[in-house]
Structure 1
Amino acid sequence: MPFEDDLGVALRQAGDGFTVDRHALVDAGEERGRHLVARRRAAVVGGSALALALVATAGAYAGGLLDGAGGSDGVTVAAAPTPDAGSATDGANGGGHGGAPSPRVGSGAVGAERMMTNLEKALAPQGGKLTATAARGTESEGGAAVSGVYDDGKGKAAVSVSLSRVDPKGSQARQLTECGDKSLQGYDDCRTEQLPDGSKLLVYKGYEYADRRVDTKCWRAVLVTPAGFLVEASEWNAPAEKDAATTRPDPPLNSAQLKSLVTSQVWLPALNDLPAAEPEPGSRDAGPGTPLKDRSAADALELLAAPFGVPIASRGGEGSYGYLVLDDGKGPSLVQLNVSRAETTAGFTGADVTTESDGTKVKITQGSAGKAPGVVQWTVATLRENGLRVTVSAFNTANQNGGPSRPQPRLTLEQLKEIALAPGWNRDRN
């Protein structure tokens, strides 16, 4: 299957189960899909072949090397490579002068065959058998990755590992190593740990679908080093991520074994072959003067909701998507914010669309949402003349996959309009 088809499948799978503004989702699809797929590196097993649906995080790489002495307890960072050490960021004609820039990929020093061998080595201490392996090497724009079907005699299970480099101080690295809101994600257990060398480790035990429509469990471990190496491992209690019957109660590897898998030194050569990093744009902590459009959506939403004085039970999100769960003691209420750029006025041309004095178009919708009866969603969507789309939604539940927790959303339509139409969205500095 071509990489473009893999990408489409991965984006559809990553978005399954979420209810968001449709037009905002289309406009922000590339950016949000990149983050969501980074969280869920899809590995789909079919017969003797396994299709890897992987998205490399463009422009978000970090420099540094792993030292082989770290063992399973962590990885040690050595000096970063020199800028001219065969970087894949040079232009097509060399030195970045003339022609289109080359893709940010490795040299191919670690190919698909070696990635498959490395996964076998990393799993060897567990004593099981690995079959149906498939992989991509460091030369692939889809990212270095390997997957297979692991059998320890207690039921076959899909296992995958992906390698990339990120800005260790960026939003993606932070989000990948933070446990999300349990009421929204529906996981059984999630723990984070800082290793002796400063690396951050997350071990997550959840389900393929947050609403648990099937019994397929998805457990994963994520490691981000101070140098920005990102190693992600996922496992299931079925021989395929989706559309396969479960073969065992839980995935085969426990928390300690998942940690050992992502910290294994077998991944060192491939990680070192990936190109050096650049800081993630806008990834540093936002100061008081940072404009709303340059903040993460979660930060912007928390700032704009603060004047309403409603206690925040939890918050989260990534990049252009953010959410809060508000709880005034009368039932929790989910609030979502989507920020994107639109090239057309799609969705803002009907009779129900109004226009503000500055030209901003506003559309308000109210209706049912979620899978449970009684869950309602109020949405204020706005489109400014410069193409900035800000959409804010409120629900009468803390979890779109669960039932209602209160009669109506906690924030009123007027308060949602205040957030979506805040003057700060038009400023270059707050």
Structure 2
Amino acid sequence: MEWTPNARELADLELLLSGAFHPLTGFMGHEDAHSVIEHGTLLDGTPWPAPVTIHLPDDVGDDVTLLDPEGVPLAALDVATGEVRALGPIEHGPFARLRRTPEEVRKELDGRPALAVTMRGPLDSLDEIVETARELDAVILLMPLVYGEAGPAVVRAALKAAERLPEDTMVVAVPLAPREDPEIDLELRERVAENYGAAEHYPGPEPVAIPGPPHRRGLVVFFTGLSGSGKSTIARGLRDALLELGGRTITYLDGDVVRHLLSKGLTFSKADRDLNIRRIGFVAAEAARHGGLAICAPIAPYAATRAEVREMVEAVGADFMLVYVATPLEECERRDRKGLYAKARAGLIPEFTGVSDPYEEPEDADLVVDTTHISIEAAVSRVLDAIRAGGYIR
């Protein structure tokens, strides 16, 4: 079986294969992870600060080939033991010239001690680093932790700092994803630094996120609701209203239109519907990444997939507004302009949301609109008011 891990798992895979996570040789199974959480050690007694896990489908076999996002085989995974074996170099990440293995760095150090400075943001001051390196007679090893959207900025900060440090300063990009527990995160940074040959570890300060004003941030307005609820009509009205106001770049992704272009060939099975929503979410997130405002209007019946889209959007530093068009099934069926409900009731359309397939009502909607007793214009105004109240338009 072949499987593409998510971004965090790919980062951990690279650290496993490079030796940066030594003594680990693979991902941990449930028993190993439980042991680490309970006792802080691997089953063989080796201290380790946090479990390194991968999520696989239920029907996975004994052996899995792990792929990068472009489908290139990276490693063979033994599911029973969690061990991974490299199948080729990992080249899916950015900063290739700076992503060096611990072995390569230790070889260049040639026995000299190193002061490893792990960075997730700019350094406050270089004086303390220079003084510490002088006391240790050590080479300064700047290690920007390049996981996620902040990666490029952290690398730029490291390269800029290196210009003001001794000539033999080294910069090595390390894709270490942050952990929620700050103590575990620090322990992992120290473990990785040690494997790169550090005699001493200097953790750089955590960056303070200062978001820009809402009208400059990306925003995805994501409508969800039954077929015939009015979500597409409201979404089109919102698009037109925003275009009239000006000041924002608008991307409009209607469910039916996307079906004919971005998702042509997909069926209405649950797997394909989820894939369709993920594709919409990806395009919307890319538009929002650069400060645009994207409007999406699919049915999106499943809560887990909607949550994935929210995560995609927030991962690029944009905001997500979920609008639930809560028009009841009876009203949607009464309208039935396309005759879809009649065909579904007759068994001509399988897996039809609201008839033969469930719709999971959102519990995390930012705005709920029922078009049964209000006009489309009034519904558009309610959404526009919410966007204006959030400061996304002026």
- TM-score relative to the length of structure 1: 0.24
Higher strand share: 1
- TM-score relative to the length of structure 2: 0.26
Higher helix share: 2
Q: Over alpha carbons, which structure has the higher Rg? A: 2
